[in-house]
Amino acid sequence: MDMTRHSRSNLAGVLRQHGINPTHQRIEIARALFARFEHLSADQILALVNEGHPETSRATVYNTLNLFVQRGLIREVIVDPSKVFYDPNTQPHYHIYDVRTGRLADIDADSVRVTGLPDLPPGMVTEGVDIILRVRSAAPESEAAVQGAA
Amino acid sequence: MDMTRHSRSNLAGVLRQHGINPTHQRIEIARALFARFEHLSADQILALVNEGHPETSRATVYNTLNLFVQRGLIREVIVDPSKVFYDPNTQPHYHIYDVRTGRLADIDADSVRVTGLPDLPPGMVTEGVDIILRVRSAAPESEAAVQGAA
DNA sequence: ATGCGAATTAGACACAGTCCAATTGCTGGA
DNA sequence: TCCAGCAATTGGACTGTGTCTAATTCGCAT
Ligand SMILES: [Mn+2]
Ligand SMILES: [Mn+2]
Ligand SMILES: [Zn+2]
Ligand SMILES: [Zn+2]
């Protein structure tokens, strides 16, 4: 049996470990994320799993991504107001985001130290600490006319 | 002339200082944000400026908020995948976000120290560093059925 | 009063994401 | 092998946020 790092059979085991019934569609979606190990939007994943012959619907892609997030297999990254990115890396880490190109990359958490964050109100727990370094090329922006400019 | 902190005439001056022609609608939108000094969504602002008699269109609210952001009068906060929050506070500061209630509050930057962020690739400049402390009540979630759960 | 550029507007549109009822697929038992 | 039952998938309608556009209105200078 093929046991390469992100073979279908191996992925099926990972899904089971997270309490997810490994169907064909779910394995393909997991493979899109884990084989590349990149931040992908739902739309990109839909395109990837359907290249060649279509085999997974949009509804299933969204269902599955939400299920994966809920089960802790992947996480969401909220950096772009127009779409969510899905992140196969669930280790604590931070992000650098190019606001021009939309490129999103990881920052290793080990080197980063954050101090002085406030105590949480009682009865509250931390879901996570997001750090996003928003960057852009220093080159002057290709000016686009903006309606409503004074 | 009324010169209270967020009077219309005072706000008009602030707009002019940012190169923005102070129209009635723009002043009302600025007032919604600066009088409360809270994080508001476009929808909330639209409702606020139109309570009582309607006087500002949805298009104008979006036009104006984008203009304000572009001119550095306010800034966007991206924490919720479904909508942008607009922040009248342009001082460097961070955010605490309750993922259950959607409540968004400021964290003073003075007390927080972040070290070890990577050097930027050459030719890149920082647009900003966002830190979002995602929290929720420790009480068990009111369980909502999730379609597609295994 | 008139003219003119800027601002505003209604409504169409784009598009991410959700919802739903109907269908398909899988599995375990007769 | 057939069937029942349940889980998963599906197309397509729907929602909500945000953008776009062409037409109108506004504010102001003459
Ligand atoms: Mn296939
Ligand atoms: Mn009014
Ligand atoms: Zn990441
Ligand atoms: Zn803030």
* Residues B65 and B110 reside in one and the same domain: no
pLDDT of A146 strictly over 60: no
* Residues B55 and B123 reside in one and the same domain: no
* Residues B102 and B87 reside in one and the same domain: no
- Containing domain of residue B17, as a range? 1-91
* Residues A51 and A77 reside in one and the same domain: yes
| pLDDT tens string B12-47 | 999 999 999 999 999 999 999 999 999 999 999 999
For residues B120 and B133, give the distance between their C-alpha atoms in angstroms, rounded to a whole number.
24
* Residues B114 and B135 reside in one and the same domain: yes
Weakest-pLDDT range from A2-6, A56-60, B7-11: A2-6
* Residues A83 and A102 reside in one and the same domain: no
- The CA radius of gyration of chain A, in Å to the nearest whole number, is 19
Please tell me the distance between residue B33's alpha carbon and the centre of ligand 4 in angstroms: 11
| pLDDT tens string A52-78 | 899 999 999 999 999 999 999 999 999
Instruction: State which of A91, A109, A133 marks the end of a domain.
Output: A91
Q: Where are the beta strands (DSSP E) in chain B?
A: 40-41, 75-80, 83-87, 93-98, 104-108, 113-115, 124-137
Q: Give the tokens for residue A133.
A: 């370094």
* Residues B75 and B113 reside in one and the same domain: no
Q: What is the pLDDT of residue A135?
A: 96
Instruction: State which of A69, A91, A113 marks the end of a domain.
Output: A91
Mutate to test the interface with A, among B124, B126, B129, B137 (most CBs of A within 10 A): B124
Chain A positions touching B20 (Cβ under 8 A) are 150
* Residues A126 and A83 reside in one and the same domain: no
Q: Which of A66, A130, A146 sits opposite B132 (nearest CB)?
A: A130
Please tell me the distance between residue B125's alpha carbon and the centre of ligand 2 in angstroms: 41
Nearest to B88 by CA among B7, B14, B13: B14
This prediction has a pTM of 0.91
* Residues A147 and A86 reside in one and the same domain: no
* Residues A8 and A82 reside in one and the same domain: yes
| pLDDT tens string A120-145 | 999 999 999 999 999 999 976 554 43
Q: Which chain B residue lies closest to A23 (C-alpha atoms)?
A: B150
For residues A44 and B84, give the distance between their C-alpha atoms in angstroms, rounded to a whole number.
22
* Residues B136 and B118 reside in one and the same domain: yes
Residues B116 and A94: beta-carbon distance below 8 Å: no
Q: Is A93 exposed, middle or buried (0-12, 13-18, 19+ CB in 10 A)?
A: middle
| pLDDT tens string A67-112 | 999 999 999 999 999 999 999 999 999 999 999 999 999 999 999 9
Supply the CATH number for residue B79's domain.
1.10.10.10
For chain B, what is the domain count? 2
Instruction: State which of B91, B114, B140 marks the end of a domain.
Output: B91
- The CA radius of gyration of chain B, in Å to the nearest whole number, is 19
**Nearest nt to the B54 alpha carbon by C1':** C9
Q: Which of A20, A99, A124 sits opposite B137 (nearest CB)?
A: A124
Point out the ligand nearest to the CA of residue B109.
4
* Residues A11 and A45 reside in one and the same domain: yes
